[in-house]
């Protein structure tokens, strides 16, 4: 028994060797979950450099903000309203960690960070997050729900650990949180987050013109363009399962899945948008012809790939051994995954490792018992076969002896000495005389 216990422990240790390979990713807390964080981080003062930028750019400390995320460029930008009503860039931050590929989030567990237009209100701010500080971006929004997209607890947070969120380092998150806090104090009731796959320039749109997400990105680009033209966040609505921007429909309500009513826009805005599009189309045509472009980054290939990754996430959460990287899908539909396996470092992972190790030990002992039983049977069969062979050999010898007794061999014939042959002539006669004289 001590030997078995030692073997079991050894296998438990071996089973746990890759437990730590996958780590615990973020984005698992509810919006206001208190997880050992410190509200003192939420009350940190604005850095002097940020205050100075506000002064230089004619921004009031409590004026409204809008956040813009560019996934390919790995940036979070905070824009703030100036005294003239237009927004200007206040600060830009490198995203510390982000999972998934370019393209929208489809379903819970696909590890995709969202793309679209989201809203953050004071109740979505979490000063006690276990990821330093956090705010929930409001996924799924009306567009996501209308298109059957699922997921929860998608955040901008600290701790540089992410699974579908936008994760910053702690000092960056403290600064972003403080900027948002001051805007809420100044009277802003909500701020917009615009999340894009990349800067939606003509060159980038040309690079991704054959991507399966292109139609969705063209819809996002409408909102991107309005912000570029007006330098104010667009009014965002959803109808016919698509985004519509700066739409005025007096007396009509927009239903996310319903038919879009006839909407109107100010003539000045329409003219500015048309002028912007003319320049964009010329630049797009030029970019299509150009050979001096960067290769596109990997993108998610729709709901099928999202389902594959989501299943991997479920198994991982249960503590099962899975490839250490989430699977991916090629354009032909082939699923690609790494051969190295591991499990998540969590109570579920450790429990599953122990169960699997115990089951493996149980199986090993059963196999050893079965092997010993087979060996004993084989030895018994071999001994029996040898016993039978010996008995058969003895019987054969007995039969042979009996047969020999019944049929003895004939006696060997007696051979008499042959008479000497007389030699002819003189020598013969002399020999005969000598013989006669002395006897034979």
- Residues annotated as part of the active site: 157, 165
- Strand 134-136 vs strand 155-157: parallel, antiparallel, or unpaired? antiparallel
Contact 19, 349 (CB under 8 A): yes
Contact 244, 259 (CB under 8 A): no
Tokens of 369: 């018992």
Contact 293, 287 (CB under 8 A): yes
* Residue 323 CB burial class (10 angstroms; 0-12, 13-18, ≥19): middle
Tokens of 278: 């003319």
> Residues near 47 by Cβ (< 8 Å), separated by ≥ 6?
175, 178
Query: Is the torsion defined by CA of 153, 157, 159, 162 positive or negative?
Result: positive
Distance CA(342)–CA(340), nearest Å, equals 7
Distance CA(243)–CA(222), nearest Å, equals 9
Question: DSSP secondary-structure letter at 122?
Answer: G
Question: DSSP secondary-structure letter at 169?
Answer: -
Give the three-state DSSP class for 18: coil
Distance CA(154)–CA(26), nearest Å, equals 9
Distance CA(166)–CA(56), nearest Å, equals 29
Cβ atoms < 10 Å from Cβ of 39: 11
Contact 136, 155 (CB under 8 A): yes
Contact 321, 341 (CB under 8 A): yes
Cβ atoms < 10 Å from Cβ of 404: 10
Query: Is the torsion defined by CA of 178, 180, 186, 187 positive or negative?
Result: negative
């Amino acid at each position: 028994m001590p030997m078995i216990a030692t073997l079991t422990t050894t296998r438990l240790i071996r089973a746990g060797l890759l437990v730590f390979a996958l780590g615990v990713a973020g984005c698992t807390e509810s919006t206001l979950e208190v997880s050992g964080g410190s509200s003192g981080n939420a009350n940190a003062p604005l850095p002097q450099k940020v205050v100075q930028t506000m002064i230089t750019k004619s921004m009031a400390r409590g004026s409204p903000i809008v956040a813009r995320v560019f996934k390919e460029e790995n940036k979070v930008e905070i824009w703030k309203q100036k005294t003239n009503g237009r927004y200007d860039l206040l600060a830009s931050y490198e995203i510390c960690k982000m999972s998934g590929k370019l393209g929208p989030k489809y379903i819970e567990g696909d590890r995709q960070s969202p793309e679209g237009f989201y809203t953050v209100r004071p109740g979505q701010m979490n000063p006690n997050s276990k990821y330093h500080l956090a705010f929930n971006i409001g996924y799924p929004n009306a567009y996501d729900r209308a298109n059957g997209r699922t997921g929860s607890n998608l955040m901008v947070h600290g701790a540089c650990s992410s699974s579908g969120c936008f994760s910053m380092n702690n000092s960056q998150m403290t600064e972003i949180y403080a900027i948002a806090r001051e805007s809420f104090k100044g009277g802003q009731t909500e701020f917009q987050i615009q999340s894009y796959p990349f800067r939606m320039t003509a060159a980038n749109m040309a690079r991704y013109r054959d991507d399966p997400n292109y139609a969705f990105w063209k819809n996002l680009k409408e909102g991107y363009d309005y912000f570029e033209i007006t330098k104010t966040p667009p009014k965002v609505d959803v109808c016919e399962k698509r985004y519509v921007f700066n739409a005025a429909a007096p007396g009509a309500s927009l239903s996310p899945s319903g038919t879009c009513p006839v909407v109107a826009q100010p003539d000045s805005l329409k003219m500015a948008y048309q002028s912007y599009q003319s320049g964009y189309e010329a630049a797009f045509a030029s970019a299509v012809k150009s050979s001096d472009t960067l290769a596109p980054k990997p993108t998610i290939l729709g709901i099928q790939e999202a389902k594959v990754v989501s299943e991997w996430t479920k198994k991982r959460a249960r503590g099962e051994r899975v490839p250490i990287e989430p699977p991916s899908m090629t354009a032909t539909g082939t699923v690609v995954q790494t051969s190295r396996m591991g499990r998540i470092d969590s109570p579920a992972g450790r429990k599953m490792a122990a169960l699997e190790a115990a089951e493996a030990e149980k199986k090993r002992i059963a196999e050893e018992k079965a092997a010993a039983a087979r060996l004993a049977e084989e030895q018994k069969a071999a001994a029996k076969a040898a016993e039978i062979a010996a008995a058969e050999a003895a019987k054969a010898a007995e039969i042979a002896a009996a047969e020999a007794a019944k049929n003895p061999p004939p006696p060997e014939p007696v051979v008499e000495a042959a008479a000497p042959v007389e030699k002819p002539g003189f020598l013969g006669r002399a020999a005969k005389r000598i013989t006669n004289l002395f006897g034979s």
